[in-house]
Amino acid sequence: MVDYNRAGTPLVEIVTEPDFETPKEVRDFLNILSDLLKNLGVADPSLDGAMRADANVSIHGGNKVEIKNIGSFHDLEKASHFEITRQESLHDRDIPIVQETRHWDDKRKITVSSRSKEEDLDYRYFLEGDIPWVKINPEIRSELKLQMPESISSKKQRYVTKYNIPVQVADVLSLDKFYSDLFEESHTESNAKEVANIITTELMGLVDTREKRETSKLTAIHLKELADAIQNGTVSRNSSKNALHEILKTGKNVSQVISELDLGNVSDESELAGIIQEIIDAEPQAVEQAKSNPQTINYLVGKVMQKTKGKADPTLTLNLLKNN
């Protein structure tokens, strides 16, 4: 059903078949539907009241009970669970289950009877003469299908197979249209994994609300340049976090931020060699252990990072320590 008579805001009502057997299945379905609508760009489920759901619950083929006044998908799961338990209790005691509408009482965490539900005949359904049937021919449907954006599952699969992005990262990245669009605009084949890492491990925690997204000065160009700077050794991953914070606030370009905050890697071999020598002199026991236990060298790398405030080139540091 599509209703355009709501102060200019269209309302779409989606009614499913009785396909669900558990409250968790219902919540999982709604989460998938929410992500789909957001990915299609037809709705923003994060807005208050933009997407709501009622539930019809019945057991053992008995009368159905409709639950209303549900504020969230989480509450819908709880309300459905309570209603199933209530109906099971009535059924076990041979008490008839009345077809009715019940409201979810969020304070008491129970459903409360609201009104009895009429039978279908009591509704006296009749066709609305002013609203004609709309028949969509197959050609239009095919054309619309071609115009549809890439599905979430297809996007996730592409991230994994084409860019070798870990499944968990691809899953998180593909679900949110804001972040997946940012990824698409900023990555290249060579830096895709790094861009995905920045978005999922850092950016999502910094830009986690609509307001923050709207005020953020970060662009796809910033993200691409930051990923490239990490990959070419200009800045360490650790220091890149500080750069990202500054870019979000100021919108300055990556090279300017790295320079102004002195975040650039210590990549000059002679300078780094001097720092490593200081660490070796200060950690003779760790140096001896590293000769028999190669894992200990990571401790020395950590000390160099600590000394340089995370700015030492990690690859160069490791190679210099191994050759020392």
pLDDT by residue (tens digit) across 44-102? 887 777 888 999 999 998 899 999 989 889 999 999 999 999 999 999 999 999 999 99
pLDDT digits (tens, 9 = 90+) for 103-147: 999 999 999 998 775 565 555 667 777 878 888 899 999 998 898
Mean pLDDT, the chain, integer: 88
Strand partners, 67: 55, 102
Counting residues of the chain whose pLDDT is more than 70, the rounded percentage is 94
Instruction: Give the global pTM.
Output: 0.69
Residue of 142, 171, 170, 160 lying closest to 32 (CA atoms): 171
With 0-12 / 13-18 / 19 or more C-beta atoms within 10 angstroms meaning exposed / middle / buried, residue 21 is: exposed
Greater confidence, 193 or 37?
193
Q: Which two tokens stand for residue 246?
A: 């500054």
For residues 238 and 275, the answer to whether their CB atoms sit within 8 Å is no
Residues 6+ positions from 54 with CB-CB distance below 8 Å: 66, 67, 68, 70
Q: Count CA atoms closer than 13 A to 89's CA, side-chain side.
A: 6
Residue of 242, 230, 196 lying closest to 315 (CA atoms): 230
DSSP 8-state assignment for residue 140:
H
Dist. CA 318–CA 324, nearest whole Å: 10
Q: Spell out the domains of the chain, with CATH numbers in brackets.
A: 2-123 (no CATH), 150-260 (no CATH), 269-322 (1.10.10)
